[in-house]
Amino acid sequence: MKCVDINQAVEADGLRIVIVKDMPSAWGVAAKAMIEYKALDCVYTHFIPRTDNKALRDWAGTHSAPVVAWNDQPPVNRWNDILLLLERIAPEKPLVPEDPKERIQMFGIGHELCGELGLGWNRRLDMTRPPEGTELSALAKKYGFREPDVSLANGRVVALMQELASILKAQQVQGSDFFVGQSITATDFYWAAFSNFVAIQPPELCPMNPIARPYFENPEVKAAIDPILIEHRDRIMQNHFKLPLEL
């Protein structure tokens, strides 16, 4: 996948994705990996942290990443909208199950990882927690920092990881290495990407901004990780992600 300037991405045809530069922002990491899994011709460009990203805002109407655009269709930036766009473009390598029960399971787990009150949402709140006695940062304000939510964030993450581990163990009994059904789905990509919010991959696999690396792990959360979750992450990353991650 070729990296281009944001202005080139805006003017290009075909598929384009905007990801956060030098940061393993899980929403973008998962979307990029699914594009590569589907073998789609795509270029990527960067959202630059701590800048105004005016070209992106003017084009996509958002000051966040990821953003995915297809030809002259309006860019999309919500995790489920991105997934459904990729399914429409490349249905021959599906990541959303046809079976209604499995589809409900996939989108349910997907929301618990990617959506509001999900794993990424809660970890991001904890990561932007200001030191005691200091003011909220611009990033904390952007992500809707609220003390009542922050006080619950790590507990919510631990409870979710316990349920995810339980799902994988039940799937193993059924002879499956995946979260849903007997084949890979978007859920597997999402967990692999979002796992970096609780157990960051080593620098040789995730060459991120070193200043930010310590914020991606919390001792309380890390202590609660079941090994089956990291085993799943490592297997999916090795088999279906481009490593080291392009950030």
Structure tokens of 55?
A: 């070209």
Do 200 and 128 share a structural domain? yes
Do 129 and 50 share a structural domain? no
Do 72 and 8 share a structural domain? yes
15-20, strands of its sheet edge to edge: 2-3, 42-47, 15-20, 67-70
Q: Match 């930036």 to its residue by tokens.
A: 77
Positions in the chain short of pLDDT 70: 130-145
Task: Please confirm whether the linkage preceding 214 is cis (ω < 30° from 0).
Answer: no
Hey, what amino acid is at 100?
P
Do 47 and 116 share a structural domain? no
Do 198 and 77 share a structural domain? no
Do 231 and 125 share a structural domain? yes
Asked whether residue 66 is domain-assigned, the answer is yes
Do 199 and 110 share a structural domain? yes
**How many domains does one find in the chain?**
2
Do 174 and 195 share a structural domain? yes
Domain end: 89, 115, 130, which one? 89
> Among candidates 247, 241, 194, which has minimal Cα distance to 216?
194
Asked whether residue 105 is domain-assigned, the answer is yes
Domain end: 89, 112, 128, which one? 89
Q: What is the pLDDT of residue 131?
A: 63
Asked whether residue 247 is domain-assigned, the answer is no
Do 82 and 24 share a structural domain? yes
pLDDT digits (tens, 9 = 90+) for 170-228: 999 999 999 999 999 999 999 999 999 999 999 999 999 999 999 999 999 999 999 99
- Cα angle 65, 145, 199 (rounded to 5 degrees) comes to 60
Q: CATH no. for residue 162?
A: 1.20.1050
Do 195 and 158 share a structural domain? yes
Do 223 and 182 share a structural domain? yes
Q: CATH no. for residue 10?
A: 3.40.30.10
Segments forming the whole domain that contains residue 81 = 2-89
**How many whole angstroms separate alpha carbon 230 and alpha carbon 86?**
26
